[in-house]
Structure 1
Amino acid sequence: MKIFNSTYKTLIALSLVSLVSCSDDYFDVNSSQTAPTTTSLAPQYRIKGAIENTTGTAQYRGAREVLGITQYGSQNVADYYSETWSKELTTGSYFLWQNAYVYALPNTADLIVLGDKHNAPNYKGVGKILRAYIFGMTTDQYGDIVTEQTYDGESSMNLTPEFVTQKEVYKTIFQLLDQGIEELGQPSDIALNQEGGDVLYQGNKEQWIKFAKAIKARYLNHLSKKSSGEMAYNADEIIALCQESFTSNQDNAMVQFPGGEAENANQPFSANGYGSSRMDYFSHFFVELLKNPLNLDTPFEDPRLPIIVPEAVNGGYHGVVTGRGLDGLPSEDFSLGNGGFYTSATSPTYMMTYSEVKFIEAEARYRKGDLPGAYAALRAGVEADLEKLEVTSDQINAYLNQLDTAFGGANITMSAIMVQKYIANMLNPETWVDMRRMDYSSAIYPGLQRPENVNLDLFPGADDWIQAMMYEYNEEDRNYVNMPDNSPNIRLTTPLWWNTPE
C-alpha cells in the first residue's frame, strides 16, 4: 500500500486517529471503496473517489461546524460549542483539516499522477480543479495552510510541512484552475467517464471547464477588499469568467446521494445522514428571513420556504434561535431541520450553481457601478434558484414581480444580492466567506444577530464575530514549529488576508 502524506500523520496514526477521533466522519461508517489506497490503478478508477471525498468529507466538514455562524440550522440544546464559539472549538477539535488533508487532497494528487502516467491529461485537469476547490475551502476557514509540501502522489512523507500565506494559496488556486482548463482541452488516451467514475459531469469536459471558470470567478470575487497590488479586485475579469462559465442549472456542480440504509449513502444533513445531529432544527434567522426575504413593509413570503423547511408547526414555520436551544419549550414548537429540499436522504450536495455564478456577476457589476446590469444578473440568479427548487411558474412570476418592484434597475442594493445568494447557497461553506466579507452586517442580512451565549471571553463586544477556525490539535502536536499562532484569542478573532483592506 502506498503511504500517503497527510500533513501530520504516520500511517498508523492515520488509521487510528482518523477513524476514532471523529466518529461521524464520512468514511467512519463503512469501509470505503473510494478512500486513498494506491497509485497502481488507472485514473478512471480513482476519479469517483476524488469527487466524493471532496464533497462527502471536505465540503461536509466545511459546512458542518459553521452552521452556528451561517445560521442555517440550530441545535436542540443551548450553549453548543460550535454555535457559541467556545469549548471544543477553542481546542482545535474541528476536523475540516483532517478531512481535507487525509481524505480529499490525496485522492486529487493520485489522480494527477495517474493521469500523467497513463497519458490522460483530462484526469490531471480534473484533479487540479478539485485540488483548487479543496485548497480554497480550507484556506477560507483557516487562513495560512499547507500546499506545496502536502502529499503529491510521488514524494515521501513530510510530517512537518511549511505553511504558506493565504495570498500565496490564492495564487496556487488560480494556477491550478488555469492548468486544469488547459489540460482538459488536450487529447487523452482514456475517456473521462471510462468506468462511470465521473459522478459530477459524466465525462463532459466542457462542463468541467465551465466549473473551473466558475470557481475562479468565486475566488477572484473574494478579493473585494483589495484595491491595489497584484491581487486587486477586478470586476471586469470576474464578469468575463461568469459569462464563460455556467449558463443554466444544467451546469450545476452537484453530487447526488442515492439514499439507503448506510449513513454514507444519505445526504449528510438528512435524518439518516452522518451529520444529521447538526441540523436538529432550522434556525430562527433563516426561517424569519424566508418569511420576508425582500425586506418589504408588507412581508412577501418566499415560495421556497415550504420546500426547504418542510414542517409547519403551530400554524407556521418556527426556527430555533442559534445558541439558545429549545429553551425548555416542546420540540413540537419548532420546524425540524431534516426532510426538506437540501436535507432529505437523496438531496444533493451542491458545489457550485448557476445561481451563484449570477450572484457573483451581480456583485461585480454592482461594484463597478453597472446597476442595471447588476439587477439583470441578480434577477437571473433568483429565477434559476427558484427553478432549481421546482417552484411553480405562477409563484416564480409573482416573486420576480415583487423583486422588480423592490430592486429593479438602479434600485438594486448589495443587501438584495447577498440575501438571495445566502438563500440559494444553503449549506455551502461559501456563505461564511460572504458573511465575513460583508462584516456580518445586519444592514446586508436583515435580522442577523450573534448567537446567544457567545463566548464573551473571546468575543466581548456586540460587533465581535468569529473570523477563522483553530488549526486542529493533532497538527499543532506534530507541526507546531511551522504552524501559525494557534492561540484562540488570535486564531478565532483575526480577519483573514482577503478580509483585510489594502
Structure 2
Amino acid sequence: MKKLKYIIFAFTLVLASCSDDYFDVNSSETAPTTTSLAPQLRIKGAIENTTGTAQYRGTREVLGIMQYGSQNVANYYSETWSSFMTTGSYFLWQNSYVYALPNTADLIVLGETYDAPNYSAVGKILRAYIFGMTTDQYGAIVMGDTYDGISSMNITPGFVSQEEAYTAIFTLLDEAIAELGQESSIGLNEEEGDVLYGGDQDKWIRFAYSIKARYLNHLSKKSSGDLAYDADAIIAACQSGINSNELNAQQNFGGGTPENDNQPFSANGYGSSRMDYFSDFFVNLLKNPLNLSSEIEDPRLPIIVPEAINGGYKGVIIGNGLNDESGDDFSLGNGGFYTSATSPTYMITYSEVKFIEAEARFRKNDLVGAYAAFKEGVLADLQKLNVPQDQITSYMDLIDTEISADNIALSHIMIQKYIANMLNPETWVDMRRMDYSDTIYHGLKRPVNVNLSIFPNDDDWIQAMMYEYNEEDRNYVNMPNNDPLIRLTTPLWWNTEE
C-alpha cells in the first residue's frame, strides 16, 4: 500500500506559481505538463518549492546535527540519530524529486519553447541548487533519469555518483550564466513571479557564481582529477558572486494567515515543532564566539535568540530535552531574527560568499587576503542582522585586537560562518568537512543519548542520510546500499581525503 501510494503521489507534479499553498499541485499523470502554463507563470512556484519544500526539509531533519535548535523532549530521533532516521523516513528526497525538481525541469523546457533563455537559466540554477543539497545529504542521487519536462516519469531511475553529480551541477551553472547573457522574449518578472530578484538578470548571475563558489569549496579534500580543489577558481567565483547584502538570495514571508506565508521555523510555520528551543551549543557559542578566556557576548545573541521567560539566554542540550527543568528557564526557538513569522529563508548570502573566499585564501596561504575577507564576512552578517552601529564598531575593534593576518585560524572563519548560516543545511556540509572538530567548533559535542548501536565511539558522527523507504521499495535494484550501519557512517565522496 505504501508503495502504491508513493507511485501515485509521484505522478502528481509541479506547483502553479499562483497557488497559495506549496502543496497545491497541478493535476497530471505520467506525461509532462510543460505546456499548461507559460514560463512567467511558473517561476514563482519553482523558487518557492526550492526553499519552501526542498531547503526546508533539508534543514528540518539535520537541525539536531547542526545543533542550532533543540527539542523539549529527550531522545528525539533526529537529535540522537535513531528511529525514523535509521529506517528511511526522511523526506528531503521526496520534497526534492516530487515537488521542487519538476518545476525546474518545466521551467527549462518552457524557456526553450518560448524563446526565453533567461527562464531556462533560472531553472538550471535552481536545479543545481536542489541537486546540490540532495547529493550533499545522500551522496549518489538520481539526475538524468529524473523528470525532465519532456519524457514520461521514470519510476525506477538510475543513480549517479556524487562526483558525477558535481560535474553536472557545474555544467548547469555555467550554462545558466551563459544563457542569462542572451536576449529573451519575456522578462523574468513579467507576472511578478521572480520573488527572488525581481527580474534582475545580473543578480541571478551573481547568485549562480555564488553557488558555484560554494560547491567548488566543498572539494577541500580532493586533490586530483577534474574536480580537484582549486582555491583560485573559488576566489574568482566569489568575486563574480553576491557582493552586498542587497543581493542576498532569500525567500521572504509576509507573516499572514496562510501557514506557508510564515517562516517555516516560526511559531505559526509548518516546522515550528522542530525549533522548540535554541541549543545549548549555539547559545554558548554566541556567548563566546572568539573563544576568549574572558567571555564577551556576541552582539547578535539577543537578536537571534529570545531571552528566556525567567531571564537570560540558555539553550537545551541536544538529545537531553528539558529533563524535568522548566521551559521558562530556556530560550524559545521561535521568535528570533531567523525564526519569526516574517523571517526570510536564506539560500546564500554575501557573508557566506566572503567566508568561502576567506577559507580559499587561507588554504592558499594568502593570510592577509583571508583576514580581509573574514572581516568583511563578519561585518556583512552584523549589518544583515541590523546590529546597532556602535556595537558593530566595538565588535570589529575587538576582532582587530584579538585576530590578525598573523594568527587567523580556520576556526575563526568557520565559527563566524556557522553563526551567519543559521538554519542553512550548508552548515552540515561544513561540519563534516571539518570532521566535527571541537578545535574548529569549540564546545561541540555529540548529542546526549546518541544511538550507540550505530555510533559506539566518541568520534563517530553521522555522515549521510538514509534513502527513503519509498525509493527502496520500488527502486532497490538501482539504489546504493541503504544499510544504516553503512549509509549513516560512510563519508561522502567529497569528504574522503585524497
**Fold shared by both chains (TM-score > 0.5):** yes
Return the letter of the residue paired with 1:276: S
Q: Tell me by how many angstroms 1:29 deviates.
A: 9.8
CA deviations over 1:386-422 (Å, ceiling 9, x no partner): 0000001110011011111121122100000000000
Distance 1:9 1:82 in 2: 23
2:75 pairs with one of 79, 82, 86: 79
Q: Indicate the larger mover: 31-40 or 486-495.
A: 31-40
CA deviations over 1:300-357 (Å, ceiling 9, x no partner): 1000000001224443100000000000111111110000000000000000000000
Distance 2:206 2:9 in 1: 40
**Matched position secondary structure for 1:410:** coil
Return the letter of the residue paired with 2:416: Q
1:153 counterpart = 2:142: no
Task: Give 1:241-390 correspondences, 5 Å limit.
Answer: 241-390=237-386
Distance 2:27 2:103 in 1: 6
Are the equivalent residues in 2 in contact too, given 1:310–1:340 (CA < 8 A)?
A: yes
1:404 counterpart = 2:400: yes
CA deviations over 1:167-219 (Å, ceiling 9, x no partner): 00000000000000011110000011100000000000000000000000000
Return the letter of the residue paired with 1:433: V
Residue 144 of structure 1 corresponds to which residue in structure 2?
140
Residue 423 of structure 1 corresponds to which residue in structure 2?
419
Are the equivalent residues in 1 in contact too, given 2:86–2:466 (CA < 8 A)?
A: yes
Distance 1:368 1:12 in 2: 49
The two structures have a TM-score, normalised by structure 2, of: 0.95
Distance 1:32 1:273 in 2: 14
Are the equivalent residues in 2 in contact too, given 1:75–1:322 (CA < 8 A)?
A: yes
Distance 2:209 2:78 in 1: 33
Mark the CA change 1:189 to 1:93 in structure 2 (over 3 Å): closer, same or farther. Answer: same
Are the equivalent residues in 1 in contact too, given 2:159–2:479 (CA < 8 A)?
A: yes
**Matched position secondary structure for 2:44:** helix
1:486 counterpart = 2:482: yes
Distance 2:9 2:402 in 1: 59
CA deviations over 1:42-87 (Å, ceiling 9, x no partner): 1000000000000000000000000010000000000000000001
Q: Tell me by how many angstroms 1:35 deviates.
A: 6.0
Are the equivalent residues in 2 in contact too, given 1:282–1:320 (CA < 8 A)?
A: yes
Residue 205 of structure 1 corresponds to which residue in structure 2?
201
Distance 2:255 2:94 in 1: 25
Q: Tell me by how many angstroms 1:31 deviates.
A: 7.2
1:11 counterpart = 2:8: yes
Residue 94 of structure 2 corresponds to which residue in structure 1?
98
Distance 1:362 1:244 in 2: 15
Distance 1:34 1:203 in 2: 24
Which stretches in structure 2 are left out of the alignment for 5+ residues?
A: none
Q: Tell me by how many angstroms 1:231 deviates.
A: 1.1
Return the letter of the residue paired with 1:39: T
1:117 pairs with one of 113, 119, 124: 113
Are the equivalent residues in 2 in contact too, given 1:35–1:107 (CA < 8 A)?
A: no
Task: Give 1:224-235 correspondences, 5 Å limit.
Answer: 224-235=220-231
Residue 434 of structure 1 corresponds to which residue in structure 2?
430
Are the equivalent residues in 2 in contact too, given 1:34–1:52 (CA < 8 A)?
A: no
Task: Give 1:157-196 correspondences, 5 Å limit.
Answer: 157-196=153-192
Task: Give 1:437-476 correspondences, 5 Å limit.
Answer: 437-476=433-472
Return the letter of the residue paired with 1:10: I
Are the equivalent residues in 1 in contact too, given 2:354–2:374 (CA < 8 A)?
A: yes
Distance 2:474 2:191 in 1: 39
Are the equivalent residues in 2 in contact too, given 1:9–1:159 (CA < 8 A)?
A: no
Q: Indicate the larger mover: 360-369 or 253-262.
A: 253-262
Note the aligned Cα RMSD (angstroms).
1.8
Return the letter of the residue paired with 1:479: N
The two structures have a TM-score, normalised by structure 1, of: 0.94
Are the equivalent residues in 2 in contact too, given 1:36–1:107 (CA < 8 A)?
A: no
Distance 2:298 2:213 in 1: 28
1:497 pairs with one of 469, 472, 493: 493
Are the equivalent residues in 2 in contact too, given 1:362–1:374 (CA < 8 A)?
A: yes
Distance 2:280 2:310 in 1: 15
Distance 2:86 2:282 in 1: 26
Return the letter of the residue paired with 1:69: I
Return the letter of the residue paired with 1:87: S
Distance 1:331 1:277 in 2: 14
Distance 2:24 2:185 in 1: 25
Q: Tell me by how many angstroms 1:90 deviates.
A: 0.5
Q: Indicate the larger mover: 244-253 or 486-495.
A: 244-253
2:34 pairs with one of 10, 19, 39: 39
Are the equivalent residues in 1 in contact too, given 2:280–2:317 (CA < 8 A)?
A: yes
Distance 2:372 2:273 in 1: 39
Distance 1:35 1:129 in 2: 23
Distance 1:84 1:350 in 2: 26
Return the letter of the residue paired with 1:368: K
Q: Tell me by how many angstroms 1:463 deviates.
A: 0.5
Mark the CA change 1:34 to 1:378 in structure 2 (over 3 Å): closer, same or farther. Answer: farther
Return the letter of the residue paired with 2:298: D
Q: Indicate the larger mover: 66-75 or 397-406.
A: 397-406
Are the equivalent residues in 2 in contact too, given 1:282–1:337 (CA < 8 A)?
A: yes
Return the letter of the residue paired with 1:334: F
Q: How many residues align?
A: 486
Q: Tell me by how many angstroms 1:11 deviates.
A: 3.4
Are the equivalent residues in 1 in contact too, given 2:217–2:234 (CA < 8 A)?
A: yes
Distance 2:241 2:454 in 1: 41
1:65 counterpart = 2:61: yes
CA deviations over 1:67-114 (Å, ceiling 9, x no partner): 010000000000000000001110100000000000000000000010
Mark the CA change 1:372 to 1:36 in structure 2 (over 3 Å): closer, same or farther. Answer: farther
Return the letter of the residue paired with 2:219: L
